[in-house]
Amino acid sequence: FAGEMKMSKKLIVISLGQGQGPIAEKLMGQAMEKGTWVLLQNCHLASSWMPRLEAIVEQYDAEAIHRDFRLWLTSMPSDKFPVSILQNSVKMTIEPPRGVKMNMKGSY
């Protein structure tokens, strides 16, 4: 999708985990100014940082953010994921295919 929107060179990807929260926060701030996209992967691994992410998202000012900015999040199901982010987001889910053969086929 990023390629179709001519944003593939403007996509910043970071996998969350131990110590990645402050780095992600800095990248998000830069992306809001420049109009780039940020993909935060594995949000379920950064459960201690989720309240901070929620605070950042709640403080968004649509007038101050570049119109091309997008924040993409990936996560496994987690009760630590902020409900307010889910309520104010467009959500996509991918169900794993049934069976080993179909699972392997989906990987490639």
> At 85, is the secondary structure helix, strand, or coil?
helix
Q: What pTM was estimated for this model as a whole?
A: 0.79
Question: pLDDT tens across 36-52, in order?
Answer: 999 999 999 999 999 99
Residue pair 50/20 in contact (Cβ under 8 Å)? The answer is no
The Cα–Cα gap between 107 and 96 comes to: 10
Question: pLDDT tens across 57-108, in order?
Answer: 999 888 999 999 999 999 988 888 899 998 888 888 877 777 777 766 665 5
Closest to 66 (Cα-Cα) out of 105, 28, 107, 26: 28
